Amino acid sequence: MTVTRFAPSPTGFIHVGNLRTALMNHLIAKKAGGTFILRIDDTDPERSKQEYVDAIQEDLEWLGLTWDKIEYQSSRLDRYAAAADELRANGRFYEAFETPTELDLKRKKQLNMHLPPVYDRAALNLSDEEKDKLRAERGQGVWRFKLDHERIEWTDGILGDLSIDAASVSDPVLIRQDGQVLYTIASVVDDTDMGVTHVVRGSDHVTNTATQIQIMAALGHSAPSFAHHSLLTGPQGEALSKRLGTLALRDLREAGVQPMALLSQMARLGSSQPVELCESIDELAAGFDLDHFGSAPTKFDVEDLYPLTARYLHGLPLAAVADQVAELGVPADLAEGFWNVARANITTLKDLPGWWELFRDGATPLVDDEDRDFVAQAFDMLPDPPYSAETWSEWTKAVKEATGRKGKGLFMPLRKAVTGLQRGPEMADVMTLLQKKPTL
């Protein structure tokens, strides 16, 4: 049984980078008919906010990335405490008392001597008396996991065979001085308790994975399959980290990006397969395979989402937007015609009201000086609405006969005068939607 999870920390809004993780895990579970867990990594009571927990769920629901189960780390603290006890009993957990300043000093010394800045394990040599004394002076220490100094190896679902020398990694702090359990151990306990079989996350977690594999083993568990996707960059390959704040999913929604456009792009970006607009998450899942992804940083251009959104809308039937069309005040008998004309001419649904206003109130005519008399004469020949599918051809035929104009010289000034635009939908269709007779 395939079990995956998406594990955001509710310390901010989720963005396109998080989405990649969420989507890949969701698709793997979906394709296998497995379980997708939404895990809220809220062990940090200061930075975790309910507002963000709600927002994460709202954003995922907007995209249709629904979850089978939701879990909160904050309600599993006893499980983490039990795991910590087990590590203590196994001799894999030790208390250390260095202050951040002392650690910093050690690191600087190591770097000066061209040594890797790895924690020197000085705390391992403390006697019980020394520890008591330090505790009396400084309060509780932090708890570090004692890594086995061997190579940690796994076959990564995206990066292939990986091997990390545990001696090049500091023994990770799993419990802070104030007793707060840190993500590294909480995640291990959750992944094993919840039977997670596949973990896909960003490549910034590769070192965590190495240590987590050892922690899992120390707790008597085997590791799930790990895969690390490359990080997103901007279109020029520039780091995206600073701009991720402006690429929150809710901002994209606000900007009119369609869920399937975003998901279609994210499911393929960084893979050997081209981005293709899919109609459903099931379709995305069917074609999804981690094997297609590579380790190179993945270029992301938010602008690419708009043509995809437009294409999605162009193929959308009225039924999918009937409520929004009705809300604009489009009469039911015109809804189909209106949507057929509008959908071919919009980029996002935010453009829709503008089209209805044009048909309802008329446009500000665009008239060149030399066409002014011609347009005035033509408008005089137009009856009042309602107009039919024949109105445009009948009207232009009559105008042609009366003025002698033909071709572009006939049609363009009238199109510009009626719609206020140089180009746009078929004029025969436009006429059927006009609610008022155009005037100058």
Beta carbons of 429 and 337 less than 8 angstroms apart: yes
Q: Smallest distance from the beta carbon of 251 to ligand GLU, in angstroms?
A: 19
Q: Which of the ranges 1-9, 98-106, 166-174, 333-341 carries the binding residues for ligand GLU, by CB under 6 A?
A: 1-9
Q: Which of the ranges 7-15, 281-289, 293-301, 336-344 carries the binding residues for ligand GLU, by CB under 6 A?
A: 7-15
Among 41, 95, 156, 171, binds ligand GLU (CB under 6 A): 41
The helix-helix angle for 391-403 and 372-380 (nearest 10°) equals 120
Q: Measured from the CB atom, is 5 or 416 closer to ligand GLU?
A: 5
Q: Which of the ranges 2-10, 75-83, 105-113, 390-398 carries the binding residues for ligand GLU, by CB under 6 A?
A: 2-10
Q: Measured from the CB atom, is 7 or 430 closer to ligand GLU?
A: 7
**DSSP category for residue 58:** H
Q: Smallest distance from the beta carbon of 231 to ligand GLU, in angstroms?
A: 12
Q: Smallest distance from the beta carbon of 204 to ligand GLU, in angstroms?
A: 8
The site that binds ligand GLU (CB under 6 A) totals a number of residues, namely 8
Q: How far apart are CA 2 and CA 199, in angstroms?
A: 11
Q: Measured from the CB atom, is 199 or 342 closer to ligand GLU?
A: 199
**Sites for ligand GLU among residues 75-114 (CB under 6 A):** none
Q: Measured from the CB atom, is 183 or 395 closer to ligand GLU?
A: 183
Q: How far apart are CA 83 and CA 218, in angstroms?
A: 10
Q: Measured from the CB atom, is 270 or 365 closer to ligand GLU?
A: 270
**Sites for ligand GLU among residues 372-391 (CB under 6 A):** none
Q: Which of the ranges 3-11, 48-56, 311-319, 359-367 carries the binding residues for ligand GLU, by CB under 6 A?
A: 3-11
Among 3, 4, 8, 358, binds ligand GLU (CB under 6 A): 8
- DSSP states of 157-219 as a string? TTTEEEEEEGGGSPPPEEE-TT-PBPHHHHHHHHHHHTT--EEEEEGGGHHHHHHHHHHHHHT
Among 9, 192, 230, 396, binds ligand GLU (CB under 6 A): 9
Q: Smallest distance from the beta carbon of 157 to ligand GLU, in angstroms?
A: 13
Q: Smallest distance from the beta carbon of 8 to ligand GLU, in angstroms?
A: 5
- DSSP states of 88-151 as a string? HHTT-EEEE---HHHHHHHHHHHHHTT-------GGGG--HHHHHHHHHHH-S-EEEE---SSE
Q: Smallest distance from the beta carbon of 21 to ligand GLU, in angstroms?
A: 7
**Sites for ligand GLU among residues 186-205 (CB under 6 A):** 187, 201, 205
- DSSP states of 275-324 as a string? P---SSHHHHHHT--GGGB-SSPEE--GGGHHHHHHHHHHT--GGGGHHH
Does 7 bind ligand GLU (CB under 6 A)? Our answer is: yes
* Sign of the alpha-carbon dihedral angle for 370, 372, 376, 379: positive
Per-residue three-class SS string for 388-421: CCCHHHHHHHHHHHHHCCCCHHHHHHHHHHHHCC
Does 183 bind ligand GLU (CB under 6 A)? Our answer is: yes
Q: DSSP 3-state assignment of 46?
A: coil
Q: Smallest distance from the beta carbon of 114 to ligand GLU, in angstroms?
A: 31
- DSSP states of 218-249 as a string? HTT----EEEEEPPEE-TTS-B-TTTGGGGBH
Q: Measured from the CB atom, is 57 or 435 closer to ligand GLU?
A: 57
Q: Measured from the CB atom, is 189 or 261 closer to ligand GLU?
A: 189
**207 Cβ neighbours under 8 A, 6+ residues apart:** 164, 169
Does 10 bind ligand GLU (CB under 6 A)? Our answer is: no
Beta carbons of 78 and 47 less than 8 angstroms apart: no
Which residues in this chain contact ligand GLU in the complex, by CB under 6 A?
7-9, 41, 183, 187, 201, 205
